[in-house]
Structure 1
Amino acid sequence: MAVGVTALSATTGLFRLGLARFFFPNVLAEPPSRFKVGSKEGFPSGVVETKFVAQYGVWVVNADFEGIQQIYALKTVCTHLGCTPNWLEAEQKFKCPCHGSGFYKDGINFEGPAPRPLERYAISIAGDGQLEVDKSKSFQEELGQWNDPASYVTA
């Protein structure tokens, strides 16, 4: 009888523990969707800034696009299968290590299986004069959204 009561108590305790874990699941801490990356002067022409890749998943680029010098934030996700491409400074391109997709500095795909260019995030000048990236808004080139003034800041 005592063994039965002990087994029932242990089972009830484990059930309650499982129930508590159900109501209090593990939470994944995400970085903020809006963050500041510095002033425009901190991004010289022709530079791809990679220091925001690990924490925010963003490259900040200052480059010429369709005749306009722009600063824009590229999403660090390959449009083929979602891998993270690498910036190859010597070759001036983004190269995906998974299946070989290549993207120019402006994010346009030119080699490999990627079906479309990289996406941009919204970028603006905050009230304190710093550039602010907003990852809650993205822009796709093939939909003509890169012409949206919220997708870049003129350098």
Structure 2
Amino acid sequence: MSGTAGQQAKSSGGRSAAAAVPPASLWSRRDFLGRLGWTGFGIVSLLALLSAIRSAFPRVLFRPESSFKAGYPDDYVIGEVSERFKRSFRVWIIRNEEGIYALYAKCTHLGCTPRWLKAEQKFKCPCHGSGFYISGVNFEGPAPRPLERVRVTLADDGQLLVDVGVRYRQEKGEWNRRGAFLRV
């Protein structure tokens, strides 16, 4: 042993020069960033896979039946608006001297539900003030067109069968079609 090497070993408390070098860290910076990148890639890939699997099983919302029986024609008084199905099916049923028709209770301006004002004999939208005659034709406010009618037919047992899924628009001449008005 040379004199300087031996003195250094003795002055360091008997440790060798190799022990004076700090131990290597568990991961180098390069290892850490590499693992971080692969972890991120794995998470993104897993989320993409879960999205693909989920899209194979779409969520189906329950939709209520679009048609329903609304009673017998004699249950409806001439000149009156029945609001019996307004809440459950968004429909008014009206009987006049000629027959029966049903209006869809949705304002043609922005989709609010109008109110039937019996004293004034009109439907009035609470949102922007559109007014509709008992026939459904618009006469005031910003509504661009009349209310829509829905299909009304007679079922085999003689009851009214209302189908909310089939609508008729007056401006397209559809109020004259079969189902838009039921003669009784």
State whether TM-score is above 0.5: yes
Aligned to 1:34: 67
Aligned to 1:45: 78
User: Is the aligned partner of 1:119 residue 2:148?
Assistant: yes
Aligned counterpart for 1:97 among listed residues 107, 117, 126:
126
User: Is the aligned partner of 1:70 residue 2:93?
Assistant: no
User: Is the aligned partner of 1:152 residue 2:154?
Assistant: no
SS in structure 2 of the partner of residue 59 of structure 1: strand
- Counterpart of 1:30, as a letter, is R
Aligned counterpart for 2:167 among listed residues 134, 138, 141:
138
- Counterpart of 1:70, as a letter, is G
Of structures 1 and 2, the one with the larger relative CO (CA 8 A, separation 6+) is 1
How far the C-alpha of 1:16 sits from its partner, in A, is: 8.7
RMSD over equivalenced CA pairs, Å: 2.5
User: What's the TM-score once normalised by structure 2's chain length?
Assistant: 0.69
- Counterpart of 2:147, as a letter, is L
Counterpart CA distance in 1 for 2:164 and 2:171 is 19
Gaps of 5+ in 1: 1-12
- Counterpart of 1:53, as a letter, is K
How far the C-alpha of 1:27 sits from its partner, in A, is: 3.6
Counterpart CA distance in 1 for 2:62 and 2:115 is 25
How far the C-alpha of 1:54 sits from its partner, in A, is: 1.1
How far the C-alpha of 1:69 sits from its partner, in A, is: 1.6
SS in structure 1 of the partner of residue 144 of structure 2: coil
- Counterpart of 2:142, as a letter, is P
Aligned to 2:90: 57
Identity %: 50
Counterpart CA distance in 2 for 1:79 and 1:101 is 9
How far the C-alpha of 1:26 sits from its partner, in A, is: 4.7
Gaps of 5+ in 2: 1-45
SS in structure 1 of the partner of residue 92 of structure 2: strand
Greater gyration radius: 2
